[in-house]
Amino acid sequence: MLIRAVEKRDHHHLWTMLKPVFRSGETYAIDPEISEQDALSYWTGANAGCLVIEEKGERLGTYYLKTNAQGGGAHVCNCGFITAPNSAGKGVARAMLADALTRAKAKGYQAMQFNFVLSNNTRAIDIWTRAGFDIVGRLPHAFKHPKDGMIDAFVMFKTL
């Protein structure tokens, strides 16, 4: 698997990954009706980079890396990850996280924080926990899930 910076030629592939995730309204606090242009701007606009993971020309997933807050909080980064539907269970998310942690440290970040991990997203929570992230906060009933109703969101944190 190769992880590289997103290029304009990847935008169609990104949209095919972003669209079902955003439209479902089940994992990201994003307007499910977000336009393709706005979704791509949101995803690729990260100040520290947007990357794609591919194998034999097939895009398996994507992630962004950005500064989580400005000023006194600029030493903490944030990421968003999406795995292509046909790539689930192949280690793609773990590979992207490992790459993100390496890139974040190389860019001088001292910590990584996930601001809004849904409590029912057990696969992500397991991956992040195994990588050394701690749940440092719980936001009660912070997300109106289309199937599960009002659920909590976690803030997860790891010092780099």
Q: How confident is the model at residue 90 (pLDDT cuts 50, 70, 90)?
A: confident
Structure tokens of 11? 């935008």
- 3-class SS at 97? helix
Structure tokens at 8: 């304009």
Give the separation between CA 138 and CA 154, rounded to whole angstroms. 5
Write down the pTM of the prediction: 0.92
Handedness of CA 128, 30, 141, 111 (dihedral sign): positive
Higher pLDDT among residues 57 and 19, named by residue: 19
pLDDT at 130 over 90: yes
pLDDT at residue 88 above 90? no
- The pLDDT of 49-73, averaged and rounded, is 95
**Architecture of the structural domain at 2-112:** 3-Layer(aba) Sandwich (3.40)
Give the mean pLDDT of 88-115: 94
Of the ranges 54-58, 97-101, 117-121, which one carries the lowest mean pLDDT score? 54-58
Decide: 134 and 114 in contact? Cβ < 8 Å: no
pLDDT band at residue 87 using 50, 70 and 90 as cut-offs: confident
Q: Is the pLDDT of residue 51 over 90?
A: yes
pLDDT averaged over the chain? Answer: 95
**Residue 131 in 3-state DSSP?**
coil
Measured distance between the N- and C-terminal CA atoms of the chain, rounded to whole angstroms = 24
Distance between CA atoms of 113 and 156, rounded to whole angstroms?
A: 6
14-45 residue pLDDT tens: 999 999 999 999 999 999 999 999 999 999 99
pLDDT score, position 95: 95
C-alpha 64/C-alpha 45 separation (Å) is: 8
Per-residue pLDDT at 35: 97
The Cα–Cα gap between 69 and 113 comes to 10
The pLDDT confidence band at residue 57, using thresholds 50, 70 and 90, is: confident
CA-only gyration radius of the chain, Å: 15
